[in-house]
Amino acid sequence: MLYHSPSRGVMDLEQVFQDIVAFVREDPQAEHKLIIGTDSQARDEVTFVTAIVIHRLGKGARYYYHREVHRRLPSLRQRILLETSLSLGVASRLTEMLSRRGHQGFDIEIHLDIGQNGDTRDLIREIVGMVSGSGFDAKIKPDSFGASTVADKYTK
């Protein structure tokens, strides 16, 4: 699975991991958040974009994204469930890599493209429960910029 970085080019997940660690080491005293978010755009097929954002609070960020295309899904609920599943998969792989290499203590958030307004409001409890039950912090709109801004930019 390849990721694209506007500043670093095409990278695999190992290279993304190494770049995240290097970014944190540039300012180890700063507070960092690792954010994973997925958004999708449905046309004849559905384009899913998963973004990984390493955010140095108050001092900038770096991000990476992966695009994949799936057949059209029959419902919005299934699309949101797949978005969440894709984010959780990446978050789990990164958590394992961090743990295996002695980098505990990362604050990991899953940013969800759901919110109190619109068709997704009925899914909030289910989707947030899915993320929380997996051990990650869940953020919904308007606080889910990883999905609703970064990933969304590349679904078009």
Tokens of 52: 């990984």
Phi and psi angles of residue 62, each rounded to the nearest 5 degrees, phi first: -135, 145
51-64 burial by CB neighbour count: b if 16+ within 10 A, else e?
bbbbbbeeeebbbb
- CA torsion 31-65-18-6 (nearest 10°) is -90
pLDDT in tens, 30-74: 999 999 999 999 999 999 999 999 999 999 999 999 999 999 888
pLDDT in tens, 104-141: 778 799 999 999 999 999 999 999 999 999 999 999 99
- CA torsion 36-42-44-45 (nearest 10°) is 20
Rounded to the nearest 10 degrees, what angle do helices 124-133 and 76-100 cross at? 20
Q: Is the model's pLDDT at 88 over the cut of 90?
A: yes
What pLDDT was estimated at residue 73? 87
**pTM (predicted TM-score):** 0.96
Domain span at residue 118 reads 2-153
For the chain, the domain total comes to: 1
pLDDT in tens, 23-32: 999 999 999 9
